[in-house]
Structure 1
Amino acid sequence: MLGFLKRFSRMGDSELVERIAKGDSAAFDEVLRRYQPRVYSFACRYVKDRDEAADIAQETFLRLYRMASQYRPEAKLSTFLMQIAKNLCIDFLRKKKPVLLPELPESPAGDDTAVQAGHRQQLEQVRELVQRLPAKQRKALVLRHDQGLSYAEIAEALETTVSAVEALLVRSRRTLRERMDF
């Protein structure tokens, strides 16, 4: 059994993927052994949620298994896997419902309900204004303020530069300030 495992550990990535395409589960296990920690770690840093990162890592390898026959050895397997993981992370972040502002706390007895109603109205107006921003500005704003991503992480998610992210955030904040009527 040990000799069998050593044989797989010496195989190149493209040969392993070729064997996976033919249904070889031992080759798939070897790819998991080599790359699962790296893919999981990447997803953890990207989505900042261990459970979601585990799901993303699992889905990454399921996609490799399904798409093994489409893999082209010109690309390194690690690059191929990380691109799948990155796309899954971006999809997760896009689907996650943005909550840019916290909900107002319950008012203690005696608070002015008219003031509280005004705050709720302002929150709703801000949420509506954010939804009306151009898509890239909205995504940058949500990734920065809701997800807490760095400018570099946002640039990677939006496939742009850090300076472009800075410009997107400046424009989105300026637009929000101009449109707010309170």
Structure 2
Amino acid sequence: MSDAKIIAQIKAGKKELFDTLIEKHYNSVYCYCYRHVDNQMTAQDLTQDVFVTVIKNISNYKHYGKFENYLYVIARNKCKDFWKKKQPIYLESLDKEESKQELVDVENKIFVKEALAKLPEVEFEVVILRYYHDLKFKDIAKIMGSSVSVTKYRMNMALKKLETYMEGGKL
């Protein structure tokens, strides 16, 4: 069933369909939040906040385009609010018995996260939405409130900066 039909039925009184809507989109919203905060518990809390906001405001929701884009806009705002509060960052502990390859993988993951964290926020957003959530540029542009050409430009700039950083340069 499409999101538009589910939402129409929820508005008509079938509140039990919220579960269907949440189950359908929970993982993508959680992954988005996790990419921004790099902590499972915080990402779960933010994801829950996103869906609480949706539940509270569903009666005002107008279905223009993809519902998933609406969720990403809310998630983006929740992540911004989280960082404004300057919460401490908790590093996940590493199992001491991990193999050498797993440690190399962890180091590479940390290096990529470090590189992404050095990007300006708008460029970081474009990279996350494009490569981690596989969204099209027109959808990213809608989420970020910009044009497709500006979104593509931001992606191009982000990729150039990441390439420079990965080659040992500075951002």
User: So what's the TM-score if we normalise by structure 2?
Assistant: 0.53
Alignment of 1:48-127 (within 5 A): 48-96=38-86
Deviations 1:2-43 (A, max 9, x none): xxxxxxxxx210121122234423210111111001100110
2:123 to 155, 161, 167: 155
- What is the Cα-based RMSD across aligned positions, in Å? 3.1
Determine whether 1:20 maps to 2:23.
no
Match of 2:97 in 1: none
C-alpha contact (below 8 Å) 1:46/1:153 kept by paired residues: no
CA separation of 1:60 and 1:97: change in aligned 2, threshold 3 A: closer
Which stretches in structure 2 are left out of the alignment for 5+ residues?
90-112, 126-143, 145-150, 162-171
Tell me, in whole angstroms, the C-alpha distance in 2 between the residues paired with 1:16 and 1:90. Answer: 29
- Greater gyration radius: 1
CA distance in 1, matches of 2:65, 2:82: 25
Contact persistence 1:18–1:68 (CA under 8 A): no
Identity of aligned residues (%): 28
Equivalent residue for 1:37?
Answer: 27
Which stretches of structure 1, 4 residues or longer, exceed 2 Å deviation after superposition?
18-26, 152-157, 159-164
Shift of 1:98: 7.9
Alpha-carbon distance in structure 2 between the residues aligned to 1:34 and 1:91: 25
1:89 Cα deviation after fit: 0.4
1:51 positional shift? 0.9
Q: What CA distance in whole angstroms lies between the structure 2 residues aligned with 1:55 and 1:44?
A: 10
Q: Partners in 1 of 2:41 and 2:13 — Cα distance?
A: 28
Counting matched residue pairs gives 109
Letter in 1 for 2:59: S
Shift of 1:154: 5.5
Work out whether residues 30 and 44 of structure 2, in 8 Å CA contact, stay in contact via their aligned partners in 1. yes
